[in-house]
Amino acid sequence: MQHGEDTKFFTQVVLQEGKYALLKRAQYNYRKHKGNLSLLDFCKMQSSYYTSDFQKLLKELFNNSFNAFAEYIPYVQILALYIIIYRIRDGAKNQLQEEEQQIYKDIIREALQNIEDDLISNFKFLTRDEKTLLLNIKYSRDISDDIRLRHKTIYFNGISLYSLKSKTILKICNIDFADNNICITGKVALPLSATKYKVVAVINDNDDYDLSYFELDISAKKFYCNSVYYQERGFKVVVPVAETEKISFVFLCEHQNVKLYINFQFVSRLTNKLKNSYYIANEFLLRKNKASTAIFLERFSKERKRQLENKITKELFKSKRFRTVLWRLLIRFANFIHRLSNKEIWLFIDYFSLANDNAEALFQYVLAQNNNKIKPYFVISKNTEDYNRIKQYGKVISYDTKLYRLLFAVSDKIITSQTF
């Protein structure tokens, strides 16, 4: 069987019968060769997958639809979208020469002329940036100038592309205190021209603070052939602690504003999974509102902490998350013992499967200082050679164990040479 023959066959059956069935349960068998490569894997290595075979497959699908109905029916348009976006996600960076890349781009642009804008907009398989990319390709220009904001939704040519109420637009990665300021770093994920919109931090629903942006690493970028078509933007904003009680983030565009959902990332110490999430730092208590659209700052007090902890416990019991309740109790007890020891716990991490990078070098340095106020631990999987090697000269804990999770929760510093 040649690549794409199954797609053509099933499409012919659907077009002839005018219907299809969905199975509640099915078994999918995927054959691979001895080298653990499938037919599709082999095809992706060939330039024809992105040029002649690609063009032939799309042409047959559209022709079959037009011959049967004198139009390109939505079923075929969506199938073509699926085929196109899978190739874009595969990259086609190394397989194609410059001339072949232009052929590949032309095939996609020509196919998109047969696909309606509202199908691109409503196709749930596409991300915000992919919808924008496809429309840019279809119209051979940046569509940012035609973007409009209405009712907290981004529109293009009267068709809604995506909602600004999405939970993945603004992400908070870290919240730190320094020099009487709060420093917040995070990411903004919007496929719009930076000149088209602005995001600001709003303090106490009154004062606006601009975000300063910085470029993230390659993992935050997406490519169309050899060109970056989208990238998340890293940001940093510094606001004074004095008189700050509430911080929210607002999207500004066309004299309109939309308060953004705050997506708290793993290391930010607040979580969207709990309505009453909070944490304590530098004599302050930070918490989020239930809708995750604001961060509140107040002076720490034992009574306030007790109130919030009780709310979280009730929330966890109500959702029957009993193991989490036990873990929180265990962490509180471990924190109590940790404070009595009057020593700081430092965790050092390179990769979870490999050491011998900067974190191990710093771990060795700290051990050599013989500081009695620091308890250093190196974190690595127990199923590695480095685990036993490092164990010969320092304390090692295995990644993804209960001890690691407990120490991670109560540690004073987590030092890593990698992003994790």
Query: What is the DSSP code string of 8-46?
Result: HHHHHHHHHHS-----SS--------TTS--HHHHHHTS
Handedness of CA 49, 51, 56, 59 (dihedral sign): positive
Rounded Cα distance, 257 and 119, in Å: 28
Q: What is the pLDDT of residue 360?
A: 95
Residue ranges in the chain whose pLDDT is less than 70: 1-3, 32-37, 39, 92-94, 419-420
Residue type, 420: F
Contact status, residue 148 vs residue 192, Cβ threshold 8 Å: no
Structural element, H or E, at residue 311:
helix 302-318
Q: What is the pLDDT of residue 418?
A: 80
How do 374-380 and 284-288 pair as beta strands? unpaired
Q: Taking the model in full, what pTM does it have?
A: 0.79
Find the distance separating the first CA and the last CA of the chain, reported in whole Å: 42
Contact status, residue 187 vs residue 232, Cβ threshold 8 Å: yes
Rounded Cα distance, 175 and 238, in Å: 10
Helical segments of 30-189, H only: 39-44, 52-69, 74-90, 98-112, 117-122, 128-139
Which residues share a beta bridge with 280? 285
Tell which residue, 369, 351, 349, 367, has the closest CA to residue 359: 349
Q: What is the pLDDT of residue 92?
A: 67
Report all structural domains of the chain as residue ranges with CATH numbers, in order of start: 5-17+34-161 (no CATH), 170-316 (2.60.40.10), 326-416 (3.50.50)
Q: What is the pLDDT of residue 33?
A: 67
Q: What is the pLDDT of residue 339?
A: 86
Q: What is the pLDDT of residue 2?
A: 62
Query: Token pair for residue 404?
Result: 């690691």
Contact status, residue 195 vs residue 252, Cβ threshold 8 Å: no
Query: Token pair for residue 281?
Result: 């730092």
